[in-house]
Structure 1
Amino acid sequence: MNTPQKIGILGGTFDPPHIGHLKLATHFAKTLNLDTLLLVPSGEPWQKGAHITSANIRYQLTEAAGIDLARAFLYLKIPTQVGIDRIEVDRAGPSYAIDTAQALRERFGATANLIWLMGADSLLTLPSWHRWIEFTQLINIAVASRPNYQHTAQLDTALSAYITGHQVIEAKDLEKYPSGHIWIDEHLAINLSSTDLRKHLHSSARGSIDAEQIPSHTLEIINKLGLYQ
Structure 2
Amino acid sequence: MKANAFAFMGGTFDPIHNGHLRTALELQHWLGVDQLCLIPSKTPVHRATPGRTSEQRLEMVKLAVADEPSLCADDREISSEQPSYSFLTLQGLRSELGDQCPIFMIMGMDSYMTLPSWYEWDKFTDYCHIVVVKRPGYDLPAEGEIKEFTDEHKAQNLEQAMALPAGKVLFHELTPLGISATQIRETIAQGLSPRYLFPDGVWQYIQDNRLYGLTN
Structure 1 residues without counterparts, runs of 5 or longer: 71-79
Q: Which residue of 1 aligns with 2:103?
A: 114
Q: Does the Cα contact within 8 Å between 2:19 and 2:176 map onto a contact in 1?
A: no
Structure 2 residues without counterparts, runs of 5 or longer: none
State the SS of the aligned residue for 1:88.
Answer: helix
2:147 to 160, 163, 179: 160
CA deviation vs aligned residue, 1:11-57 (integer Å, no higher than 9, x gap)? 10011001111111111100010133111000111222245310111
Greater helix percent: which structure?
1
State the SS of the aligned residue for 2:78.
Answer: coil
Distance 1:63 1:90 in 2: 15
Q: Which residue of 1 aligns with 2:27?
A: 28
Q: 1:93 to 1:105 in 2, by over 3 A?
A: closer
Q: Does the Cα contact within 8 Å between 1:68 and 1:215 map onto a contact in 2?
A: no
Distance 1:156 1:89 in 2: 36
Q: State the shift of 1:4 in Å.
A: 5.3
Distance 2:189 2:207 in 1: 12
Q: Which residue of 1 aligns with 2:125?
A: 136
Report the residue type matching 1:35 in the other structure: D
Instruction: Establish whether residue 197 from structure 1 lines up as the match of residue 184 from structure 2.
Output: yes
Distance 1:38 1:171 in 2: 19
Q: Does the Cα contact within 8 Å between 2:23 and 2:174 map onto a contact in 1?
A: no
Report the residue type matching 1:219 in the other structure: W
Q: Percent identity?
A: 28
Q: 1:27 to 1:159 in 2, by over 3 A?
A: same
Instruction: Give the TM-score normalised by structure 2.
Output: 0.90
State the SS of the aligned residue for 1:16.
Answer: coil
CA deviation vs aligned residue, 1:131-175 (integer Å, no higher than 9, x gap)? 1011222110111112322x224x761111111111113233321
Q: 1:161 to 1:26 in 2, by over 3 A?
A: same
Q: Which residue of 2 aligns with 1:74?
A: none
Report the residue type matching 2:202 in the other structure: T
Q: Which residue of 2 aligns with 1:124?
A: 113
Q: Which residue of 2 aligns with 1:98?
A: 87
Instruction: Give the TM-score normalised by structure 1.
Output: 0.86
Quick check: 51-60 or 61-70, which moved more? 61-70
